[in-house]
Amino acid sequence: MAAETKLTFVANDTLYLPVTWKETNGDPYDLTGYTAKLTVKSSYAAATPLLEVTGTIATPASGQAIFEGTVPSAAGRYVYDVEMKSVSYTKTILRGVFEIQPEVTSA
């Protein structure tokens, strides 16, 4: 089962989200051969994502993927998930509410 976590960001900020997948014993899952994807949508049924980011897996043995990009400008409450995928296995490891708060300081 995927872990449920609420994520909160400020509109137009830099997105930096490190995510580590761990075995049930606490050891990092080896991500050799895996890809990682973060998807944010207005609802689970929405056809078009608000944001999609492919994670960087620099050291597969660490179990960590890092998602980097720009937080969308549309403030609101959305849903997201993080999916790890290999040729033969797909696992959603994290999901929940993705909240974007409005900016106070404008450019």
- pLDDT at residue 2, as a whole number: 82
Does the structure show a pLDDT above 90 at 43? yes
Does the structure show a pLDDT above 70 at 107? no
When the pLDDT of each residue in the chain is averaged and rounded to a whole number, the result is: 95
Beta-ladder partners of 53: 38
Does the structure show a pLDDT above 90 at 34? yes
Does the structure show a pLDDT above 90 at 106? no
CA geometry: angle at 51 spanning 48 and 81, to 5°?
90
The helix (run of H) or strand (run of E) holding residue 91 is strand 90-101
